[in-house]
Amino acid sequence: MSFNVTFHLSYRFRLLLLFTLCLTVVGWATSNYFVGAIQDIPKAKELMANFNKGIVWGKKGTVTDEASVKKADLDNCPSVSPYLKGQTKLVFKPDLTLEEVRAENPKVHRGRYHPEECRAVQRVAILIPHRHREKHLLYLLEHLHPFLQRQQLDYGIYIIHQAGNKKFNRAKLLNVGYLEALKDENWDCFIFHDVDLVPENDWNIYRCEDQPKHLVVGRNSTGYRLRYSGYFGGVTALSREQFFKVNGFSNNYWGWGGEDDDLRLRVELHRMKIIRPLPEVGKYTMIFHKRDQGNEVNIERMKLLHQVSRVWRTDGLTSCDYKLLSVDYNPLYINITVDFLSSP
């Protein structure tokens, strides 16, 4: 009997002990679980904080992106530049040097410039035929660079120099300039510019329109009046497509005169209308000079003008032959030197 009681007590004790041990193990495991959970809370907070920071950064990034998008939306330069000054009194210093002009235009590189604050409406190539006019070129560069920059243009200035002693051929040089400049850039607009004409008013915008534009309404040498009805010389603006459409200039005008009237006839044959700025805007100063040797009056010009309607398709860009001697990228301009293989 005592044995049974002892056995039952021992059995119950062992069950109680086992139950206690189980509770201890469960309690220990539960305690570790919650401690681990509590220790993980800071990590979760850190994660959420970083996530929230990520959202904030995302918002900041979004704002930046929105600003970029907004800037891109406003990236085009205004149609009217805020830097225009209007009529300017031109001064031509006798001792002016190329180094001075270069120092005044630090943002012009290899003959090209573009505004940093906005995207220009057009890419404009200025083509200047040249021979033996170094001083005139210097004066033009001095005034033309700041003039174009105030208009917020993306531009390049090309000097097309005729080598050799053949008669000067302004029109053919301009054809060369067009063809060679397009190897650099797909220019939207071309300004065909005499070296001795300097613009006085920067409201005379050097951009192309839906019609060919004649920019020289008047000059000091003519009392600021149009030289004659239908005059289309000095400085003209044609888009890439307009100039291509008329097959450029004729290549057959050797010496002075006639090539600008030929271009006007080509424009009129294609039923385009020549437009001009207001007289008070289209004003130029012509730098005085004597007639150059090799640029005598072309006595054949009237005969050639009567042939325009018959020959324009075969005489122009499509038949412009020349020998390219060099292309030099100077700080203020691109110099293209050519020799013509044929002459009258």
Q: What is the dihedral of CA 16, 21, 22, 24, to 10 degrees?
A: 130
Assess contact for 119 and 77: CB atoms under 8 A. Answer: yes
Q: Is 291 a catalytic residue?
A: yes
Q: Is 1 a catalytic residue?
A: no
Domain boundaries defined on the chain = 98-339
Q: Is 256 a catalytic residue?
A: yes
pLDDT value of residue 70: 42
* Of 12, 119, 291, 313, catalytic: 291
* Of 196, 202, 261, 262, catalytic: 196
Q: Is 339 a catalytic residue?
A: no
* Of 142, 180, 259, 315, catalytic: 259
* Of 180, 194, 202, 262, catalytic: 194
Q: Is 184 a catalytic residue?
A: no
Q: Is 259 a catalytic residue?
A: yes
Q: Is 116 a catalytic residue?
A: no
* Of 256, 268, 276, 300, catalytic: 256
Q: Is 261 a catalytic residue?
A: no
* Of 142, 200, 260, 262, catalytic: 260
CA within 13 Å, CB half, 146: 16
Contacts (Cβ under 8 Å, ≥6 apart) of 338: 160, 161, 162, 163, 173, 176, 322, 323, 324, 325
- Positive or negative torsion for Cα 221, 85, 116, 71: negative
Encode the chain (344 residues) as per-residue pLDDT tens digits.
444 444 444 556 565 666 665 555 545 544 444 334 333 333 333 433 443 333 333 333 333 344 334 435 558 999 999 999 999 999 999 999 999 999 999 999 999 999 999 999 999 999 999 998 899 999 999 999 999 999 999 999 999 999 988 999 999 999 999 999 999 999 999 999 999 999 999 999 999 999 999 999 999 999 999 999 999 999 999 999 999 999 999 999 999 889 999 999 999 999 999 999 999 999 999 997 665 666 788 889 999 999 999 999 999 999 999 999 999 999 999 999 999 987 76
> In CATH, which superfamily holds the domain spanning 98-339?
Spore Coat Polysaccharide Biosynthesis Protein SpsA; Chain A (3.90.550.10)
